[in-house]
């Protein structure tokens, strides 16, 4: 099974973080692929069993330009995503009223379409590095378990205890 790591970015931060996640998955012996949300269709999600979304929010809660079309289609799509497990990391600016609006909307829409989060969404602010480092370590463990991989040796942790 391949972990698809989707990103939507305006300034490149989400893409950089998504690349880091893919690198960590591969270093742990898992298959992972980097996916620009601006180059796929929501219907592609129906073939996805495990996904990570790293997305920024632009303006007052909107998706970045590269994800406009994807989001416009997903908002009204009638898809069955009940086979998909996912996690969302949002990049935003708490100075805006709709802080991490796109990440929140994406998370809720995926749930409505039947997808199951394997961990809670993280809404990071401008200084996101500590939040990301913590989230990246947790997402690797939880995603590995969701994908049926035992990463305890690679991560030096007991996944069974953490997942229960």
The predicted pLDDT at position 146 comes to: 65
d(CA 134, CA 71): 27
Highest mean pLDDT out of 42-56, 88-102, 147-161: 42-56
Q: Nearest to residue 103, comparing CAs of 136, 37, 137, 56?
A: 56
Tens of pLDDT, residues 38-83: 999 999 999 999 999 999 988 888 999 999 999 999 999 999 999 9
Q: Cβ distance 55 to 88 under 8 Å?
A: yes
The yes-or-no verdict on residue 152 having pLDDT over 70 is no
pTM score over 0.85: yes
The predicted pLDDT at position 29 comes to: 87
d(CA 27, CA 4): 15
The predicted pLDDT at position 87 comes to: 96
The yes-or-no verdict on residue 109 having pLDDT over 70 is yes
Tens of pLDDT, residues 118-147: 999 999 988 898 899 999 999 988 876 766
Residue-range domain boundaries for the chain: 2-163
Tens of pLDDT, residues 26-42: 998 889 999 999 999 99
The predicted pLDDT at position 148 comes to: 66
Pick the CATH number of 2-163 from 3.30.70.100, 3.40.50.360, 3.30.310.40, 1.10.287.3510: 3.40.50.360
| Segment 98-125 mean pLDDT | 94
């Amino acid at each position: 099974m391949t972990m698809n790591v989707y990103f939507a970015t305006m300034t490149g931060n989400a893409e950089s973080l998504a690349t880091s996640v893919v690198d960590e998955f591969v270093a742990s012996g898992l298959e992972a692929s980097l996916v620009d949300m601006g180059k796929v269709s929501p219907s592609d999600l129906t073939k996805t069993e495990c996904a990570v979304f790293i997305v920024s929010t632009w303006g007052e809660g909107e998706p970045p330009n590269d994800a406009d079309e994807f989001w416009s289609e997903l908002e009204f799509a009638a898809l069955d995503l009940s086979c998909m497990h996912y996690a969302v990391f949002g990049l935003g600016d708490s100075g805006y009223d709709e802080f991490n609006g796109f990440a929140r909307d994406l998370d809720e829409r995926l749930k409505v379409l039947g997808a199951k989060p394997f961990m809670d969404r993280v809404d990071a602010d401008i200084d996101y590095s500590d939040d990301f480092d913590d989230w990246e370590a947790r997402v690797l463990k939880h995603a590995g378990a969701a994908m049926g991989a035992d990463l305890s040796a690679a991560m030096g942790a007991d996944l069974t205890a953490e997942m229960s």
